């Protein structure tokens, strides 16, 4: 072994105390749970010698906070994670914690590459940003997310009819089990948009048509899982795959939506963060 | 070989914990070997999260994949929901790495670490679409083999396995690969199953049950007719120097949570404490320590590579490792270059010194503390040669509570030879005394006493002894619970006595038990280690259908001259030594640890021309367990070397 610090090539990596990361979860690894992925992240960060701030107590855990949980089996191009580094840690000589104002975007870029190399196939850190103000937590900040679904059991025309029916309905009731009891919920208030995708249709051997559906769903009054959307589309519809493509914050009058990364002034690398002006 | 991933994937949405079936672990192997390499599928017959951490399989995985002429992948028992989905969609058992069908591998190799997994072995062979019985397999069928601690009585699985390996696998796995490669290189027309079996049987440490035919008289096993081309007895394999085998070099890091989810470094193999109930201690002799520098290097590189924040130093009794002090000191010293890491010692000796060691290394994160006094009274512990005095236990418990632990776990066995009700009741009293000591330190101190039922196992001094029936064990559990009820902070947990009964059938039975296992499996009895899936009635019905019963297959005592089902298989231990130690046991005589006292010739070293590899010449300080130290403090115990074997 050389004298260079573990996992980090010189020069010293300068990072802010508070960071938000965007990562993708694609391929086979999507069958791991949110909890599994949290452990995978923790191990990758230890391998990268990130001086994570830890909770107090007999079993201190790193202070990582994940946003909306991604259902097991769903993939995503837009997952987020906040973390805090410890200025005073001496265990990571290759990393220095500096003021967020002094961050060089190249450091964030290096951090993305470093973590991606430590993560399993299919999990990649695609953006990093310094957090500097009193940002809301991811749980509070994210107002909606976009999904690409692939469903089986209906043809494209039939699916379009179902979508139209669903959007025209006053209420879209689905049932789920909660604490051993069946609970009925109305999804309609959470469905912002829904349409049959114009991606080319394909046929899966032994299963028939694969139909793409694009959905945008609000996190309030309650989040909507891809499986529930499928259930709402009809009994014969089953989910083949689902990918979260965006998570959005909104301004107060809901005229602009932006990725949780792109608050004014934060540095950002990787795929460009996205801001959209919503049509009135 | 072709991947069945496209057919597996649609099933994954509909099953619990789909991450069990996707592989993707750090350290896993991607097959880049030539067409002539022998393809191994290493299998653990329980769920992914139980099987993945198995160190035996991971050692073989590493050794095989380093060879040019071998390629090893892994598979685990699919849980019931996945099995049903696979059968409905006609998906065979597959490897987690490349999702290739099990039946396309050359060798399917099982680790046998728990007898109640045997019905899963049958299920996995069946899911692989390999003929279930060895006798039905042809020259192109996958060869099914097994290794692991349970192989010292492999007779119940004899009909289903082509070959069984006894002892350490590090060396013999390469020899098996050579035999397989030669056989596979033979033109198909000239290849016979028998030819393979004979070649396997002539590999040291390999038992080929098809070449040994049991003989019975009046429903009792009386001997084996041994094929002329097979050895009369099969001896285990023993690695002389663990330092030559620093495996696994790249421990697998799973994507999903598994048991023992941490770095594991084996610090020594074998144990000569001489606990008479302990099959592991008897069959893995002698003690072979890993050099302490190698231990440290394995910890350092392992932590760095995996990102784990916990390492377990594994062995049958880690506090006995000669290098423990130095290893612990190094792991606690930031200057030594090991990142901050919690160290767990999964098998603690019962003494205050050991607790002090545990406390010094568990500054980062406190894991639980577990002690195993095994018996409730000093008399009982003398019988089983677990020579811990009550005071040793109290000193350990005092030390633990005073060092900040608030909960302690104690392991006991019931159904031990010569056990009386007073020995059972004493478990609750001993544990209650520990709670009381804890209270002096914390108002909420608590003790969990876990109680297992004893099954006398092959190649131990108790192999001849009768075992308690499930109903007797149920009675003793009830007795214990009644006694413990009054103590606040004392929690009694117990292993299901019915499951102990079934374990007795498969641990102590002969080849006729194969048909019983097959019936239980066909009746849906998979995952018998899982209490929610276990029913003794299934086993009793299967025994009944085969004209057998629990009493004669599992419970009854065996005479010294009776042919034991495993009598042709040797762990090196002389039968005379085992019988002598059994008699000493019944007389309440202890036997010292031969690491630090003169050899009493159990056979493990002398039979194979090997010896202990132990760095320290003196026993560890601070305890009496099996070292002969301080025994006089706690009443008369005869420890007379030389009189125990006759």
Residues A161 and A125 in one domain: no
The CATH number assigned to the domain holding A196 equals 3.30.70
Torsions phi, psi for B636 (to 5 deg): -75, 125
Verify that A57 and A171 share a domain, yes or no. no
Task: Please tell me what DSSP assigns to residue B551.
Answer: I
User: What are the pLDDT digits (tens) for B297-306?
Assistant: 999 999 999 9
What is the token pair recorded at B131?
A: 């003929």
Q: Which of A117, A139, A161 is the last residue of a domain?
A: A139
Q: Where are the beta strands (DSSP E) in A26-143?
A: 64-66, 75-84, 95-98, 123-130
**Which residues does residue A79 pair with via DSSP β-bridges, in sequence order?**
A23
What is chain A's mean pLDDT, rounded? 87
Q: Do the strands A202-204 and A144-152 form a parallel or antiparallel pair, or are they unpaired?
A: unpaired
User: Tokens for B405?
Assistant: 């632990």
Mark yes or no for CB contact A31/B308 under 8 Å: no
Is B390 or B633 the better-scoring residue by pLDDT?
B390
pLDDT tens string B455-500: 999 999 999 999 999 999 999 999 999 999 999 999 999 999 999 9
CB atoms within 10 A of CB B378: 20
Domain holding A42: CATH number?
3.30.70.580
- For every residue of B343-404, which 3-state class applies, written as one string? EECCCCCCCHHHHHHHHHHCCCCCCCEEEEEECCCHHHHHHCCCCCCHHHHHHHHHHHHHCC
Q: Which two tokens stand for residue B92?
A: 């065979």
* Chain A interface test: which of B11, B13, B311 (most A C-beta within 10 Å): B13
| Average pLDDT score over residue span B577-590 | 94
Confidence class for position B290, pLDDT limits 50, 70, 90: very high
What is the DSSP code string of A130-146? Answer: E--S-PPPHHHH--EEE
| CA nearest to A122 within chain B | B24
Question: What pLDDT is recorded for position B513?
Answer: 98
Q: Are residues A64 and A75 in the same domain?
A: yes
Comparing C-alpha atoms, which of B446, B442, B381 is closest to residue B407?
A: B446
pLDDT of residue B507: 98
Residues A168 and A184: their CA atoms lie apart, in Å, by 19
* B151-155, B340-344, B405-409: the lowest-pLDDT one: B340-344
Q: How confident is the model at residue A7 (pLDDT cuts 50, 70, 90)?
A: very low
Provide the residue range defining the domain that includes A160: 140-250
What is the token pair recorded at B633?
């403090």
The string over A58-94, giving b where at least 16 C-beta atoms fall within 10 Å of a residue's C-beta and e elsewhere, is eeeebebebbbbbbbbbbbbbbbbbbbbbeebebbeb
Q: Do A217 and A244 belong together in one domain?
A: yes
Could you tell me the two tokens for B431?
Answer: 């544990």
**Stretch 8-47 of chain B: residues touching chain A, C-beta under 8 Å:** 10, 12-13, 17-19, 21-24, 26
Does residue A75 fall inside a structural domain?
yes
C-alpha dihedral sign at B608, B613, B618, B621: negative
Are A153 and A230 a contacting pair, CB within 8 Å? no
- Using CA coordinates, name the residue in chain A closest to B262: A43
Record: contact A43-B304, CB cut-off 8 A: no
In the predicted model, what is the mean pLDDT of residues B135-151?
A: 97
Residue A260 belongs to a domain: no
The minimal CB distance from A36 to the residues B23, B257, B307 is found for: B257
Q: Are residues A84 and A190 in the same domain?
A: no
Q: Is residue B334 scored above 80 in pLDDT?
A: no
Residue A259 lies in a domain: no
**Region of poorest pLDDT, from A107-116, A118-127, A240-249, B592-601:** B592-601
Let me know the angle formed at the C-alpha of B369 by A42 and B307, rounded to the nearest 5 degrees. Answer: 20
Q: Which of A7, A28, A45, A64 to mutate to test the interface with B (most CBs of B within 10 A)?
A: A28
CA B151, B152, B153, B154 dihedral sign is positive
> For B13-51, what is each residue's pLDDT tens digit?
889 999 999 999 999 999 999 999 999 999 999 999 999
User: A237 with A211, same domain?
Assistant: yes
CB contact under 8 A, A60 and B365: yes
Spatial contact of A224 and A174, defined as CB atoms under 8 Å apart: no
Q: Are residues A135 and A149 in the same domain?
A: no
Residue A4 has pLDDT above 50, yes or no: no
Nearest to B13 among A32, A122, A239 (CB): A239
Claim to verify: residue A134 and residue A157 sit in the same structural domain: no
> Which residue in A has a C-alpha nearest to residue B365's C-alpha?
A59
* Most confident of the following: A111-120, A171-180, A264-273, B633-642: A111-120
Residue A237: burial class (beta carbons within 10 Å; 0-12, 13-18, 19+): buried
Which residues does chain B have within 8 Å of residue A39's beta carbon, measured at their own beta carbons? 257
Residues A144 and A110 placed together within one structural domain of the fold: no
Q: What is the ipTM of this complex?
A: 0.90
A197 and A171: one domain? yes
Do A81 and A188 fall into the same domain?
A: no
SS3 at position A16: strand
Q: Is residue A54 part of a domain?
A: yes
pLDDT tens, residue by residue, A203-239? 877 778 899 999 999 998 888 999 999 999 998 998 9
Residues A107, A150 share a domain: no
The answer for residues whose C-beta is within 8 angstroms of residue B9's C-beta and 6 or more apart is none
Tell me if A198 is assigned to some domain: yes
Strands (E), A101-186: 123-130, 144-152, 173-178, 181-186
Q: Which domains does chain B have, with CATH numbers?
A: 5-235 (3.40.50.280), 262-512+548-586 (3.80.30.20)
Strand order in the sheet with B342-344: B263-266, B310-314, B342-344
Kindly state whether residue A111 falls inside one of the protein's structural domains: yes
Nearest CB to A28 within list B22, B257, B366: B22
Q: What is the SS3 assignment for B321?
A: coil
Residue B338 confidence (pLDDT): 65
pLDDT at residue number A2 = 40
Q: How far is A278 from chain B (nearest CA, A)?
A: 35
Q: Which residues contact B140 (CB under 8 A, 6 or more apart)?
A: B188
**pLDDT reported for residue A280:** 43
Angstroms from B377 CA to nearest CA on chain A: 34
Asked if the structure places residue A152 within a domain, the reply is yes
Please tell me the least confidently modeled range out of A3-17, A47-61, A160-174, B144-158.
A3-17
**Predicted local distance difference test score (pLDDT) of residue B138:** 94
The secondary structure of residue B20, as a DSSP letter, is G
User: Given pLDDT bands bounded at 50, 70 and 90, which one contains residue B346?
Assistant: confident
CA distance B22 to chain A (A): 6
Task: Give B411's strand partners.
Answer: B450
DSSP labels for B395-455? HHHHHHHHTT--EEEEEEEES-TT--HHHHHHHHHHHHHHHHHHHTT-TT-EEEEEEEE--
Mean residue pLDDT across chain B? 92
Neighbour tally for B464: CB within 10 Å: 17
Asked if residues B408 and B434 have their Cβ atoms less than 8 Å apart, the reply is yes
Q: State the residue for tokens 């007797």.
A: B472
Residue A8 lies in a domain: no
How many domains does chain A contain in total? 2
pLDDT of residue A265: 55
For residue B300, give the nearest of B322, B269, B331 by alpha carbon.
Answer: B331
**pLDDT grade for A253, boundaries at 50, 70 and 90:** confident
């Amino acid at each position: 072994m050389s004298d260079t610090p573990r996992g980090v090539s010189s020069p010293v990596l300068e990072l802010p105390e508070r960071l938000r990361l965007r990562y993708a979860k694609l391929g086979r690894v999507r069958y791991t749970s949110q909890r599994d992925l949290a452990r995978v992240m923790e191990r990758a960060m230890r391998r990268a010698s990130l001086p994570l701030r830890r909770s107090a107590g007999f079993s201190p855990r790193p202070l990582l906070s994940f946003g909306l949980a991604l259902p097991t089996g769903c993939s995503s191009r837009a997952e987020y994670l906040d973390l805090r580094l410890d200025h005073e840690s001496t265990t990571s000589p290759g990393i220095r914690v500096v003021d967020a104002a002094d961050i060089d975007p190249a450091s964030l870029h290096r951090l993305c590459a470093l973590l991606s190399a430590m993560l399993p196939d299919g999990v990649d850190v695609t953006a990093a940003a310094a957090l500097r103000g009193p940002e809301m937590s991811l749980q509070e900040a994210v107002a909606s997310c976009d999904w690409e679904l692939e469903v089986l059991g209906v043809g494209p025309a039939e699916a379009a009819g179902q979508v139209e029916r669903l959007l025209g309905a006053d209420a879209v009731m689905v049932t789920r089990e909660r604490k051993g009891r069946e609970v009925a919920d109305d999804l309609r208030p959470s469905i912002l948009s829904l349409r049959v995708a114009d991606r080319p249709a394909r046929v899966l051997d032994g299963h028939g048509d694969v139909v793409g559906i694009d959905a945008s769903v609000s996190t309030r009054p309650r989040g909507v899982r891809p499986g529930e959307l499928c259930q709402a589309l009809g009994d014969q519809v089953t989910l083949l795959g689902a990918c979260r493509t965006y998570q959005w914050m909104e301004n107060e009058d809901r005229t602009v939506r932006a990725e949780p990364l792109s608050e004014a002034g934060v540095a950002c690398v990787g795929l460009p963060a996205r801001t959209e002006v919503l049509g009135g | 070989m072709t991947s069945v991933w496209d057919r597996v994937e649609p099933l994954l949405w509909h099953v619990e914990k789909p991450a069990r079936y996707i592989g993707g672990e750090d350290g896993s192997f991607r097959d880049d070997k030539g067409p002539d390499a022998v393809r191994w599928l290493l299998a653990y017959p329980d769920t992914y999260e139980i099987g993945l951490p198995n160190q035996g399989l991971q050692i073989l995985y590493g050794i095989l994949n380093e060879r040019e002429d071998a390629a090893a992948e892994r598979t685990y028992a699919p849980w019931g929901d996945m099995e049903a989905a696979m059968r409905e969609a006609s998906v065979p058992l597959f490897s987690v790495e490349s999702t290739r069908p099990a039946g396309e591998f050359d060798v399917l190799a099982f680790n046998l670490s728990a007898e109640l997994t045997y019905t899963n072995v049958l299920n996995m062979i069946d899911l692989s679409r390999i003929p279930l019985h060895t006798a039905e397999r042809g020259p192109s069928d996958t060869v099914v083999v097994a290794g692991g601690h349970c192989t010292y009585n492999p007779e119940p699985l004899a009909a289903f396995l082509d070959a069984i390996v006894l002892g350490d696998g590090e060396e013999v796995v390469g020899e098996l690969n050579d035999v397989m490669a030669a056989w596979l290189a033979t033109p198909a027309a000239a290849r016979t199953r028998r030819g393979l079996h004979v070649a396997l049987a002539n590999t040291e440490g390999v038992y080929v049950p098809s070449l040994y035919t049991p003989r019975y008289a009046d429903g009792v096993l009386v001997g084996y007719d041994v094929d002329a081309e097979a050895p009369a007895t099969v001896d285990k394999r023993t690695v002389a120097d663990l330092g030559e085998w620093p495996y696994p070099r790249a421990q697998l890091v799973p994507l999903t949570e598994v048991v023992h989810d941490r770095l594991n470094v084996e610090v020594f193999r074998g144990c000569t404490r001489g606990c008479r109930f302990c099959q592991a201690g008897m069959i893995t002799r002698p003690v072979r320590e890993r050099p302490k520098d190698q231990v440290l290097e394995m910890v350092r590189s392992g932590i760095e590579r995996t990102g784990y924040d916990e390492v377990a130093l594994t062995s049958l009794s880690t506090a006995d490792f000669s290098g423990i002090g130095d290893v612990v000191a190094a792991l606690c010293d930031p200057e030594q270059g090991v990142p901050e890491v919690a160290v767990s010692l999964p098998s603690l000796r019962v003494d205050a010194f050991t607790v002090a060691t545990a406390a010094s290394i568990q500054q980062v994160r406190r894991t639980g503390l577990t002690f195993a006094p095994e018996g409730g009274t000093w008399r009982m512990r003398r019988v089983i040669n677990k020579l811990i005095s009550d005071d040793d236990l109290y000193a350990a418990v005092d030390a633990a509570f005073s060092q900040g632990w608030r909960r302690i776990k104690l392991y006991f066995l019931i159904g031990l030879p010569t056990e009386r009700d007073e020995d059972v009741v004493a478990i609750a009293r001993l544990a209650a005394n520990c709670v009381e000591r804890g209270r002096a330190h914390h108002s909420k101190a608590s003790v969990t006493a876990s109680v297992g039922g004893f099954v006398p196992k092959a190649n131990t001094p108790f192999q001849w002894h009768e075992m308690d029936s499930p109903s007797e064990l149920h009675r003793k559990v009830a007795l214990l619970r009644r006694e413990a009820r009054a103590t606040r902070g004392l929690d009694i947990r117990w292993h299901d006595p019915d499951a102990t009964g079934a374990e007795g059938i498969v641990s102590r039975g002969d080849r006729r038990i194969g048909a019983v296992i097959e019936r239980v499996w066909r009746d849906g009895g998979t995952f018998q280690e899982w209490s929610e899936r276990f029913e003794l009635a299934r086993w009793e019905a299967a025994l009944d259908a085969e004209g057998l019963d629990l009493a004669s297959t599992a419970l009854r005592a065996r005479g010294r001259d009776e042919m034991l089902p495993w009598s042709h298989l040797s762990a090196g231990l002389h039968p005379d030594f085992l019988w002598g130690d059994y008699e000493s046991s019944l007389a309440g005589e202890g036997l010292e640890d031969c690491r630090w006292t003169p050899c009493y010739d159990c056979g493990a070293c002398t039979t194979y021309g090997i010896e202990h590899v132990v760095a320290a010449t003196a026993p560890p300080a601070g305890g009496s367990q099996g070292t002969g130290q301080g025994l006089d403090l706690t009443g008369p115990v005869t420890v007379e070397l030389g009189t125990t074997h006759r």
